[in-house]
Chains A and B, each alone.
Chain A
Amino acid sequence: MTTSQDLLGSFNEAEWTESAGEEVVRLPTESLREFAEVAREAGFELLSDVTAVDWLDREPRFDVVVNLVSLQHRLRLRIIVGAGGEEPSVPSLVPVWPGANYAEREVFDMFGITFADHPDLTRILMPDDWEGFPLRRDFATGSVPVQFKGSHKVS
């Protein structure tokens, strides 16, 4: 059975690992776009998902996680790239898979990671004037003060 590494193993700078039986490739942030183009040529037609993980104390702070599907080879592949610094940024995948549009907007909305070359990087789920990025680990869930009015005092 072909694996993703057979198809894409010739790509330099890629670090192939495995997680719970799934193929994972770790890339330097700047080569994400180039790798995506190679992967698309190699038969990964469908971008299944883009998301991110906030590791808070680590540098680079964020992992951007891209899940790909190949219909012709019946394969799944996960790409992980780091994003760190004051203004975390990764190359956008919209020019390769237009379906990355909403997902990258969601990652921007939730984590504040920008995607270079994204056509319309605006908030998608939160209100436009929202401050902060909710899924960052240092964003507190907060609480809503509740006052129980009108109840009888016992004493």
Chain B
Amino acid sequence: MTDQKSRQEIDLWISGTEEPDTAATDEGAQEMRQEESGFRLAEQVGAVVSDDYVFDDEFSDDERMIVNMGPQHPSTHGVLRLQIELEGEIIRRTKPVIGYLHTGMEKTAEALTFMQGPTNVTRMDYLASFHNELAFSLATERLLGIEVPPRADAIRVLMTELNRISSHLVAMATNGMDIGALSIMTYGFREREQVLAFFEKVTGLRMNHNYIRPGGVAADLPPGWRADVKAIAENMRARIGDYDDMLKENPIWTGRTRGIGVITAEECLAYSVTGPTLRSTGIDWDLRKVFPYSGIDQYEFDVPVGEQGDVYDRYRVRIEEILQSARIVEQVAEAMPKGDYRSDDRKVTPPPRARIDESMEALIHHFKIFTEGFRVPPGETYAAVEGPRGELGCYIVSNGEGIPYRVHVRAPSFYNLQALPIMMADSLVADTIATIASLDPVMGDVDR
């Protein structure tokens, strides 16, 4: 209100009908004007998030409408609820309301051993299960101070990159479905099925695998895996190219995505937004390149970046990342090292099956690992991997027992959701869905 009034006064002075402002001298303004107050400036640069909204006088209350989208909305990718303040067709304010899928998984993690931990964290971001397991395992291994054999590292890279492909395919499919391109939805899920079938062959499960564990992986790759991986990579390269041709110059697609949900690089950094959303603004920040894990730096791949930071660029970045991941898995399939698939540290790895039959000590040891778990030295660590949605980190505190004292997962979707009000400010209601889909939030990851 007061801002409105002072702005009017200044306008009047400029027009010359009022007497000049004597407070201003020709040495320049000595004092900040009211609209330049420290708080106001802080608000403008986004340092202060003010939730008290001042209505403009020109709009009466009944022209503004608060609409609830969700939590049961088909296009919100789970139980995301948005409170949207509308002025006609235009969104003025958005407030995400989350927590509908909160199941206290970090509390659960304080009751599970380090060996059981991956079972729990794999259910957080259920579209990127392997990445969750990998972050947890890397953190645990760092506390234990053990190295995993090269074959385990290669298998981990193989599975996480395949997981990135399947996750980005879902992102592409749902993005298409939300905008109305239903054929893209069926194509995306069809290609993903091929990847999930391979996951099932390797781990026994299509999702929530509990395959990557502290000390290595749960089992070696099954016979014929190399042909499967090559088939997936070839298929992706051929099919993704087709889908991209179908969409990238499609006037309906570009009309619905270009210049929609724009975010700048500065806003991304200020709001802790990572992953494809950050890269779509032109910053080539990829943890696989800058803080490599599991020997991923020995494979050749590029980090695709966008320019505009809009829905279209985020879609393009994901498409390119699928192709880059296909490149990585082919290289892994070529150069898979021979050897053991888990650490030979007897403290972490149970004895081989054959030893259990002949040695009482081996049997006891096997029993203790699976009942008490192994003890992890006291300490705290934070290990992060590049998940399909951004930096997926795991912070583990151990007090020297077999159960972690505290497990915290830095969920990329949780932080990325903070960008939604910025992307949606002053946009049309119809673009909401495209914007949410391009952010690709997984509510299991947000609420944990």
Residue interface mask B261-279, A partner, CB < 8 A = 1: 0000000011111100000
Give the A-B contact count at a CB cut-off of 8 A: 110
Contact A135 B106 (CB under 8 A): yes
Instruction: List the B side residues contacting A106 at CB < 8 Å.
Output: 414
Contact B381 A102 (CB under 8 A): no
Q: How far is the CB of A34 from chain B (nearest CB, A)?
A: 15
Complex partner residue of A98 from B49, B380, B382, B406, CB under 8 angstroms: B49
Contact B381 A20 (CB under 8 A): yes
A22 interfacial contact with B, CB 8 Å: yes
Instruction: List the A side residues contacting B273 at CB < 8 Å.
Output: 99
Residue interface mask A35-73, B partner, CB < 8 A = 1: 000000000011111010110000000000101010100
Contact B395 A46 (CB under 8 A): no
B204 interfacial contact with A, CB 8 Å: no
Complex partner residue of B410 from A24, A48, A95, A141, CB under 8 angstroms: A48
Instruction: List the B side residues contacting A21 at CB < 8 Å.
Output: 142
Instruction: List the A side residues contacting B406 at CB < 8 Å.
Output: 53-54
Complex partner residue of B384 from A45, A48, A100, A125, CB under 8 angstroms: A48
Q: How far is the CB of A67 from chain B (nearest CB, A)?
A: 6
Contact B382 A120 (CB under 8 A): no
A124 interfacial contact with B, CB 8 Å: yes
A53 nearest in chain B by CB position: B406
Complex partner residue of B272 from A51, A74, A97, A125, CB under 8 angstroms: A97
Contact B415 A119 (CB under 8 A): no
A120 nearest in chain B by CB position: B51
* A-side interface residues, number (CB < 8 Å): 43
Instruction: List the B side residues contacting A71 at CB < 8 Å.
Output: 269, 283, 285
Within 8 A of B (CB), among A86-139: 94-103, 106, 110, 119-120, 123-127, 134-135, 139
Alpha-carbon distance between A141 and B405 when the two chains are bound, in angstroms: 15
A80 nearest in chain B by CB position: B380
A143 interfacial contact with B, CB 8 Å: no
Contact B142 A102 (CB under 8 A): no
Instruction: List the B side residues contacting A125 at CB < 8 Å.
Output: 98-99, 102, 447-448
Instruction: List the B side residues contacting A51 at CB < 8 Å.
Output: 395, 408, 410
Alpha-carbon distance between A10 and B50 when the two chains are bound, in angstroms: 34
Contact A119 B270 (CB under 8 A): no
Contact A94 B272 (CB under 8 A): no
Q: How far is the CB of B413 from chain A (nearest CB, A)?
A: 11
A19 interfacial contact with B, CB 8 Å: yes
| Listed stretches B40-48, B174-182, B249-257; interface member | B40-48
B202 interfacial contact with A, CB 8 Å: no
Contact A20-B51, Cβ < 8 Å, known A51-B408, A127-B99: no
Instruction: List the A side residues contacting B397 at CB < 8 Å.
Output: 53
B104 interfacial contact with A, CB 8 Å: yes
Alpha-carbon distance between A29 and B200 when the two chains are bound, in angstroms: 49
Alpha-carbon distance between A129 and B257 when the two chains are bound, in angstroms: 40
Contact A141 B51 (CB under 8 A): no
Q: How far is the CB of B438 from chain A (nearest CB, A)?
A: 19
Alpha-carbon distance between A119 and B49 when the two chains are bound, in angstroms: 6
Alpha-carbon distance between A45 and B384 when the two chains are bound, in angstroms: 17
A118 nearest in chain B by CB position: B49
Contact A102-B418, Cβ < 8 Å, known A49-B393, A95-B42, A125-B102: yes
B51 nearest in chain A by CB position: A120
Q: How far is the CB of B283 from chain A (nearest CB, A)?
A: 7
Contact A98 B47 (CB under 8 A): yes
Alpha-carbon distance between A110 and B447 when the two chains are bound, in angstroms: 12
Contact B47 A74 (CB under 8 A): no
Contact A20 B143 (CB under 8 A): yes
What 13 new A-B contacts, CB under 8 Å, besides A19-B380, A24-B380? A19-B381, A20-B145, A22-B381, A51-B410, A53-B380, A65-B395, A71-B283, A74-B291, A95-B47, A102-B414, A119-B48, A119-B50, A125-B102
- The chain A residues found within 8 Å of chain B, CB to CB, are 19-22, 24, 45-49, 51, 53-54, 65, 67, 69, 71, 74, 76, 78, 94-103, 106, 110, 119-120, 123-127, 134-135, 139, 141
Question: Top 4 nearest A-B pairs by Cβ distance?
Answer: A99-B272, A125-B99, A20-B381, A49-B410
26 interchain pairs, CB-CB under 8 A: A19-B379, A20-B380, A20-B381, A21-B142, A22-B382, A45-B269, A46-B269, A48-B391, A48-B410, A49-B395, A51-B395, A51-B410, A69-B391, A76-B382, A95-B48, A98-B46, A100-B272, A101-B49, A101-B418, A119-B48, A119-B49, A119-B51, A120-B49, A125-B102, A125-B448, A135-B107
